[in-house]
Structure 1
Amino acid sequence: MPRPVGRRAEILETFARHVAERGYDQTNLGDIADELGMSKGTIVHHFGTKAQMLREVEENYMRRQLHAVHGMWERLEKPQERVAAIIYASVLLHVVDRHATVATQREVVQLSDDPAMQEVRKLRGEMQRLTEAELQQGVDAGLFRKIDVRVTTLQLFGSVQWMWVWFDPKGPQTPEEVGASMVDVFLGGLLLDRYGLQQVADPKGAVVTVVRECLTAVGESPE
């Protein structure tokens, strides 16, 4: 699922960067038009409103995420590998798709009651259900301790979706190392037998390789 190309895509990507850097309320279509050397009317012609632009950024972002996750599921079979993949992907997206990632996480409640956001909510729900299913499979297989899979899923996404306020991709730890630390803590609290934890919490391991390759396949190439 490669990214769209052309002027429209350029406008949307610039909008996502402005939202990531300034927040939705402080993002001004006039500033975007000036930066791109076009009229504000051209942006309105393509998108209609600023709200519609945010909806499109969020919808495109979630579709790319889900496409990548389905690719990971085809290559990873164990629940612990798949849960680890979700965590690694969440960290790497702050590098390979940073503006859209920060914009959607920063404004996660923006327009949440807008009926036009129904598709975005549906896509987010699908991601949540995929994660809940893997946690439940791990419980049923005797790999994970008994938990409330819904609450645990919300804890997971609550953690990774708050990363934009503290995670620096240029910090002393690589994104893979940060992801590995989060995998170690999260899965360490779930696994009944931690024998295989080191393997999935390896920042240079097979799970990370799969995640990077699947992100690349949807047009988010790790640098």
Structure 2
Amino acid sequence: MSRSGRRGEILETFIRHVAERGYERTNLGDIADELGLSKGTIVHHFGTKAGMLRELEEGFARRQLEAVALMWQRLPAPHERLAAVIHAFVIVHTLAGPATVASQREVGQLAAEPELGAARRLRRQVRDLVAAEVRRGIELGVFRQVDAELATLQLFGSLQWMWVWYDAAGPRTPEEVGAGFVDVFLGGLLLDRLCLRQWADPGANLVPVVWECLRAVSA
């Protein structure tokens, strides 16, 4: 996702450095040298390195929330919505690779930094929406009885570690990886597994919807 102007260039460079090195090893001096500007210019725009991380995390979490809202508008059933969220977590590695890796690898920093309270709340909203769909599926008799909050944490925990192994240019397409996750997670919830094949499919009808919603919030 492109950001115009000098400020956007600084933030994109910071995001790439965090994705490649991690937050602690990202140095404002290195960013300034790479862009041919002074550290004072970076401080003028962002204040501190923590301020840059806050902008990264809040922006990423806000786009997640917006994408989920768009998908919810178009996909009414709880199993469709859960499959869409799973595919979205994978596809975003293709649409916004550095920002996705940078955000996912700094989950520990997200919990520790006082400045990231708003980002934590946005992330919590996304998790709450997913947990609500697990509970709704149970109430509708689509999913078996499980601890909805724990199941949601298990899902997000596995998806947020994708950055350590997933290669968007690798042999598996994002749709194939997403379908694999849907097969395991949704297959563990559904009471009637006979319908699972249509959702655990790289060519599932909901996949283009996910792409459209993610592109809409990334524009």
TM-score range, shorter chain: over 0.9
CA distance in structure 2 between the aligned counterparts of 1:156 and 1:141, rounded to whole angstroms: 21
CA distance in structure 2 between the aligned counterparts of 1:169 and 1:196, rounded to whole angstroms: 28
How far did 1:70 drift? 0.5
Q: Does 1:142 align with 2:133?
A: no
1:10 maps to 9
CA distance in structure 2 between the aligned counterparts of 1:112 and 1:153, rounded to whole angstroms: 18
- Counterparts of 1:168-183 in structure 2, within 5 Å, are 168-183=167-182
1:70 maps to 69
CA distance in structure 2 between the aligned counterparts of 1:119 and 1:103, rounded to whole angstroms: 17
What is the percentage of aligned positions where both structures have the same residue? 62
2:123 maps to 124
TM-score when normalising by structure 1: 0.95
- Counterparts of 1:1-223 in structure 2, within 5 Å, are 4-219=3-218
How far did 1:98 drift? 1.0
How far did 1:88 drift? 0.3
CA distance in structure 2 between the aligned counterparts of 1:3 and 1:129, rounded to whole angstroms: 29
Look up the equivalent residue of 2:159 and give its one-letter code: V
How far did 1:36 drift? 1.4
How far did 1:209 drift? 0.7
Greater shift after overlay, 155-164 or 103-112? Answer: 103-112
CA distance in structure 1 between the aligned counterparts of 2:104 and 2:42, rounded to whole angstroms: 24
CA distance in structure 2 between the aligned counterparts of 1:93 and 1:117, rounded to whole angstroms: 22
Look up the equivalent residue of 1:108 and give its one-letter code: V
Look up the equivalent residue of 1:170 and give its one-letter code: A
SS of equivalent residue, structure 1 residue 110: helix
1:186-208 C-alpha deviation (Å, 9 max, x unpaired): 11111000122111112122111
Q: 1:28 to 1:187 in 2, by over 3 A?
A: same
How far did 1:94 drift? 1.2
How far did 1:111 drift? 4.8
TM-score when normalising by structure 2: 0.96
How far did 1:118 drift? 1.2
1:149-185 C-alpha deviation (Å, 9 max, x unpaired): 0000000000000000111111111011010011011
1:63-117 C-alpha deviation (Å, 9 max, x unpaired): 1111111000000011001000110000011111111111111111115233321
Q: 1:111 to 1:62 in 2, by over 3 A?
A: closer
Kept in 1, the 8 Å contact 2:50–2:115? The answer is: no
Greater shift after overlay, 7-16 or 76-85? Answer: 7-16
CA distance in structure 1 between the aligned counterparts of 2:179 and 2:168, rounded to whole angstroms: 14
Kept in 1, the 8 Å contact 2:175–2:202? The answer is: yes
SS of equivalent residue, structure 1 residue 123: helix
CA distance in structure 2 between the aligned counterparts of 1:137 and 1:3, rounded to whole angstroms: 37
RMSD: 1.3
Look up the equivalent residue of 1:122 and give its one-letter code: R
Equivalent pairs counted in the alignment come to 219
CA distance in structure 2 between the aligned counterparts of 1:112 and 1:191, rounded to whole angstroms: 32
Kept in 1, the 8 Å contact 2:57–2:116? The answer is: no
Q: 1:59 to 1:3 in 2, by over 3 A?
A: farther
